[in-house]
Structure formats: C-alpha cells, structure tokens
Chains A and B, each alone.
Chain A
Amino acid sequence: MNIFNLVSKNLLRRKGRFVFTLLGITIGMAAFVALLSLGSSMQRELRAQAGMLDANLVITPTNWCAFDQISILTGEALPESLHYDVMERISSIYGITAVPYLTQRTAIQNLPVMVTGIYPNEMKDFRRWEIAQGVYFAADNERAVVLGSSIANNFDLNLGDVLTIRGEPFPVIAVLSPTGSNDDTSVYLPLTVVQEIYEIGPYISFIVARVSDITNMDSYIAAIVDVVNVSVTSDEQLLSTVLTMLGSVNATLQLIAGVALISAAFGIANTMMAAIYERRREIGILRAIGGKSSAIFKIFLLESGLYGLLGGIIGVVVGFVASIVAAPIIAQSGISVLMKGATPTASFDVSIVITAILFSIVISVVSGLYPALKAAKLTPVEAISYD
C-alpha cells in the first residue's frame, strides 16, 4: 500500500459520483481548451494573412470600423466607398505603389464567392502572382476572369469554362498559382469591368499601398492624408487592431469557460465534502492505526487532484476534437466575421495541452483544499465516535 494506491481505490468506490464529478471538470476544461485552441488558430491565421498582405499601408474610407478592416485580412467582400479619384491622387505621391481593390460577391454553383476588381498588370506585379495555367489579362478592360487557385480547385473549373456573373458570361482565361493567401479564394476581373457590371460607377473598396522606404512610414501617411480625406493604417496597426478585437472576443469566451470551470471546482469541493462525512469513521480508523493528520490531508488532496488530472487530460482531448469539428461549422455559419479567418485549421498545440492540464490540477487541488483541511482537522475520537 502507498497513499496513491489508497486514493485511487477511494476514487472509484462511488462510480456514479466519480463520473459526474469528473464530467464537470472535463466539460469545463474541454470548453476552455476548445476556445483557447480556436482562438489561437484564428490568431495564427490572421497573422499569416497580414503577413501575406505584404503591404505597408492600407487605405480605407474614414468611416470604416474595425470590423471592416478585419474583412480585409479575412478576405470578405467590402462595400465600394472610395472614389476612384483617391486612387489617382495617391498613386501620384512619390515613393508609393498602390493598387485598388473593388470587392463584390457572386455565386458559383450556388456558393458565395468573392469577385475582385483589379488593375490587371499592377496587381500582378504588386502581388507577385504566377500564372499556373492559361494567359493572363491582356487588356485593362478584357471581359474574362482569372481564378485564384482554390477557386479553380474547389469548383473544379478549367480554362475555357464560363462563369456567369450578374447575368453575363465570362470565360476563364487563366488560373493563378497558389499563394497561400486570400488571393487564392477570389475571382478576378479588371476593375472597370466590375464597376460596369455591378453598376457601381467610379468607386473602389479600398487601396493597398507599398512604400519605398518603410523607415519613413509616418511621412508617407502624412503625405496621403494631406491629399485625400482617408484613413491610413499600417498593416502592423491593422493586425494589432484586429488581434486586440479577437483577443477581447476570446477573453469573453474564455470567461464563460472559466465560469464553467469554477462550477466544476465547486462540484469537486462538494464531492470531497460529502466524502468526508461518509468516511468519517474511516478517517478515525486511519488515525487510530497511526495515520497523521498530514496523511489524511494528503489523501484527500490527492483525491481531488486526481479529478483535476483526469478531467484535464480527458477535457484536453475532447476540447481539441471539438475545436477541430467546430471550426469549419463556426466558419460556415457566419455568426461572426471574426471566425471566418480560422476556417479549418484548429490544431494541436502542446503549450495549450500543458497549460490546460496544469490549470485543471491547480483548480481541483484548490477546491480540495478546504475539504482536505477539514478532514485533517477531525480528531481521531471525533471521527471514531461518529455513528
């Protein structure tokens, strides 16, 4: 016999109670881990997208909110709201290379797809696109489409296929090589063509710009704001805004999981308190045969700690499975624009595993502290005289 042996035998003696108490902490931990891993994979995704934006400045209308800015990272269609004029003026500033984006929605095989109106040549240079198949736009007003690689793959589209956009047929003339960025998930047409078929007039959604000297960022921003009334954000600022928002959403969700964990902790405390009353007599026997009060303390604390260890391990597994299953569902449901970035990439993260299991143990040990102390404080005679 050792204490661990003794405790594991105690744990299983009331199987129903054991299971329910364990479920409490397991569910709490699973929710916690699922949210943590979803959150971290969303963060990773957004960082990756920001990196792939590969621009130094994002120029948007002054009235856009942070949600709109996130959409730039996650590749959502955005309203046309900058006058085309702005583009001209910014392009004329020395040291700035800018490209316009006009984003709209269409459908392929009844699924929503983003249509982006671009300056064909400037965009190809700016984004360093490679052509996988076909021949890229030859003219700035060609009535044809170029596909991002994921679009071609997912919808099984080939050169020569015809897409109908706003009732008008457009032949596929080229497919881009995969870029790993959101560029892969859009259909491209020349800017003027999009403006025409969507009846938009001389407007664009936003502008992405690269500067020749990134050490002088502030002066470029000043120069832009000087010539047009727009909001200029560096991609770093954009990312940090987005991450801050994501962080606060995550914190809220984790708070909810935290509440679940707290109630699980009380579940453990409750189970342990009940165990003391049931085992009063046993505590007395253990004391009579030589157990010190510190041994009783250890036995009870170890018992509640085991709930944490087991609940933590099972919770981590369930949480990861849930996050992997849930990620695409959340992304599809479109409940939150934030989630869109994270599509199917919930992944296993060792630091989350270790943190979660340790956290679970700490919670359960803390919740077992009071019961263990109470058990240890019982005098042998108090415990023995109990009937």
Chain B
Amino acid sequence: MTNAIIKTENLEKIYGKSTIKTHALKGVDMEIPKGSFSCIIGPSGHGKSTLMHLLGGLDKPTSGSVFVDGMDISKLSDNKLSEIRTQKIGFVFQFFNLLQNLTASENIQTAMMFGKISPKAQKKKAAKLLELVNLSDKANAKPSELSGGQQQRVSIARALANDPDILLMDEPTGNLDSESEAEVLKHIFEIHKTGKTIVIVTHNQELARKSEFVFEIRDGKISDSPFKAIQLGS
C-alpha cells in the first residue's frame, strides 16, 4: 500500500528494566491506509493499548519504527512528538478522558491551546465541535454532570480540536451501555466520512465486522484472524 498514513516496521515494545520485563509487542508490521476505518482487536493484556500508544507517538518503541505520514516518529524528541500529536493525532481513551474541573467546552479549548489557537477562535470552534457530537446544550456542563456516553462524545470532539488526520481510540465505548455506544459510534462513523483515518481498539465484534481493516493482536503479534477474509475482501 502506498497511501499508508500509518506504517510500522518490526515494532517491539518491552516494558520494565531489570528483572520483570514484559515483552508486550513482538515485531508488529502493519499499514493503515489514509482515510480508512480500522479496528484493533484481541484478548486482554495482549498489547492493543501498547500498540495504539506507539502508533500515536505517546510512547517510544524498544525497537522498530512507526511512520506517520511517511515520517519515522520513533526517534523523535519528546517535544517533537508532542507537536506531532497536536497536529496529526487525536486520542480518545476508555476512562476518565476529560479534565474534571473544566467544562465540556473548556476541555475542548484546552486541546486547542496546545495547538496555538487564539482564545477567541477556541470558543467558536469548540461550539462547532460540540454541535457535531450533538452536545451544544452541554457546553458549560462539567464532566460529572454528563453521562458516560456524553463524556465520550466530548472526548471525541476534543480529539478533533486541532483538526488531526488520524483519530486513535482505545475502547471508546468499552465503558458504555449499548444505547450510548450506538450513539457514540454513530458520531464516529460520521467523522470518518469527513475523511479522517480512524483506528479503534475494541472488543466489539460487530464493530470489527463493520470496519474496513481489522488487526488482531495476540501475544504481541498480529495474528491470523477470522476477520482477515473481510479485510481482504473490502
């Protein structure tokens, strides 16, 4: 694939220094095409989050490389990585995504602050993003006043704050009831249609089935998966 926005080469991650080492990733090669919708699935503790952190430059691999837009980010400085995250990547996590003492709008604005957007423009854009996830009426609500699904929608809006090309989500609906999950997924699909590349770590088989690419991680490696056929077929 030539249009890969994310590509890894023999990615390895070993946690821990001396005695207790965890070999979390054992040589992962993958390519994620620009504008695609991909899922990462696999049993608990087998390295999904680890992989996602490396893809987004949140952590550095022990060896191997991650290319984002053709740039090897695995050797970048901490500062440079922060800039890449601001410009190109939006993250959504499973739990406690929002800053609890800030309102929904302020949470989104904080991300824009790191993107060097003026406070005035921040407010405007935050309002737009909240509209996108159907939460205009909750702009001034604190996370504690929002349901789990609403919090995740704010998190998604925040991930879009600096208009990144890539959204990386680690079990964004893992904590939600099916109704809220459907609502959140609906927004994610809509966002995908605007041209963003979406990578979701999920345990939701149905979602995996609907996605264009599925990567199953087992024991730190990409394994042959029952979804491979669909992946190839799409």
Contact = CB atoms under 8 A, between A and B. Distances in A.
Contacts of B106: 1, 9
Given A282-B99, A379-B59, A384-B58, A291 B114 contact: yes
A10 B111 CA distance: 16
A289 B78 contact: no
B119 A1 contact: yes
B99 A381 contact: no
B19 interface: no
B58 to A, nearest CB: 5
B99 A285 contact: yes
A117 B136 CA distance: 89
Given A2-B119, A291-B114, A380 B99 contact: no
B165 to A, nearest CB: 14
B99 A292 contact: no
B230 interface: no
A257 B122 CA distance: 46
Contacts of A3: 113
A13 interface: yes
Contacts of A290: 82-83, 85-87, 111, 114-115, 162
A292 B59 contact: no
Interface string A1-31: 1110010011001000000000000000000
A1 B58 contact: no
A380 B58 contact: yes
Interface residues of A, number: 24
B158 A289 contact: yes
A6 B56 CA distance: 25
Nearest to A292: B82
Nearest to B117: A1
B136 to A, nearest CB: 19
Contact of B111 (A289, A379, A380): A289
A45 to B, nearest CB: 50
B22 to A, nearest CB: 12
Interface string B130-162: 000000000000000000000000000011011
Contacts of B158: 289
A1 to B, nearest CB: 4
A3 B112 CA distance: 11
A295 B82 CA distance: 10
B101 A281 contact: no
B122 A1 contact: yes
A1 B53 CA distance: 26
Contact of A1 (B86, B112, B159, B162): B112
Interface in A39-82: none
Interface in B59-83: 59, 78-79, 82-83
Nearest to A13: B101
Contacts of B99: 282, 285-286
Given A289-B161, A290-B85, A384-B93, A295 B114 contact: yes
Given A9-B101, A293-B78, A281 B110 contact: no
Nearest to A290: B86
B110 A288 contact: no
Nearest to B91: A288
A281 B96 contact: yes
Contact of A288 (B83, B85, B101): B85
Nearest to A10: B101
Contacts of B90: 289
A380 B115 contact: no
B91 A289 contact: yes
Which of A6, A10, A288 has the most chain B CB within a 10 Å cutoff? A288
Nearest to B84: A290
A294 interface: yes
A287 interface: yes
Contacts of B111: 289-290
B58 A287 contact: yes
Nearest to B123: A1
Interface string A128-172: 000000000000000000000000000000000000000000000
A186 to B, nearest CB: 65
A289 B97 CA distance: 10
B173 interface: no
B109 interface: yes
Contacts of B188: none
Interface string B160-195: 011000000000000000000000000000000000
A2 B85 CA distance: 19
Contacts of B112: 1
Interface string A364-387: 000000000000000111001000
Contacts of B110: 1, 6, 286, 289
B79 A292 contact: yes
B203 to A, nearest CB: 18
A379 B13 CA distance: 15
Interface of B: 53, 56, 58-59, 78-79, 82-83, 85-87, 90-91, 93, 96-102, 106, 109-115, 119, 122, 158-159, 161-162
20 contacts: A1-B112, A3-B113, A10-B101, A13-B101, A281-B96, A282-B100, A285-B99, A286-B110, A287-B58, A287-B82, A287-B85, A289-B110, A289-B161, A290-B83, A290-B114, A290-B162, A292-B78, A292-B83, A293-B79, A381-B53
Rank and list the top 8 A-B pairs by shortest CB-CB distance, nearest first: A290-B86, A290-B114, A1-B109, A292-B82, A289-B111, A381-B59, A1-B113, A288-B91
Given A285-B96, A380-B58, 7 more contacts: A6-B102, A286-B114, A288-B85, A289-B111, A290-B162, A292-B114, A381-B53
